Amino acid sequence: MSSADTSPKDRATALAEQRTDLALHRTVIAAERTLMAWVRTSISMIGFGFTIYKFFQYQGEEVVVGKMRRPDAPRHLGMTLIAVGTLALIAAILQHRNFLRDIGASGVRRTKPITVVVAVVVVLIGILTFYSVWMHAGPF
């Protein structure tokens, strides 16, 4: 076998490896976008739950008059939405981590995992919000 016979194969192998690396990189970026979509959804749920709680908190005069049959219902709905948003984001972070592990993306040169940091911060905000609604505490 001469060197002329092996060089096209080596070039083809190098191109295939480069394409595989690019495909893996695109898959990692798609996983990051999916996690960011979960972050947006969780922020919406947490914010909507807190808004419901605060809106009906200022309806105190109707509770005193007796127009509201279940005065704790808005608080419970708000807490449920906050909890679902926070738990969904925790599940999305775990799914993201497991997916990257399963595809073997640890060797892919990634930027700093900003998406995961943002997701963890939103989880902490969700926990703080849930606690403040639950305990009627906090600066809100």
**Domain residues of the chain, as ranges?**
3-135
Angle (nearest 5°) at CA 102 between 101 and 108: 55
Average pLDDT over all residues of the chain: 81
15 or 6, which is more confident: 15
Q: Over pLDDT 90: what percentage of the chain?
A: 43
CA distance 76 to 73: 5
Residue type, 28: V
For residue 53, pLDDT over 50 is answered with yes
Mean of pLDDT values over 96-117: 78
Residue 1: the pLDDT is 46
Residue among 93, 88, 97, 94 nearest 46 (CA): 88
Angle (nearest 5°) at CA 36 between 35 and 39: 90
Model confidence band, residue 14 (pLDDT cutoffs 50, 70, 90)? low
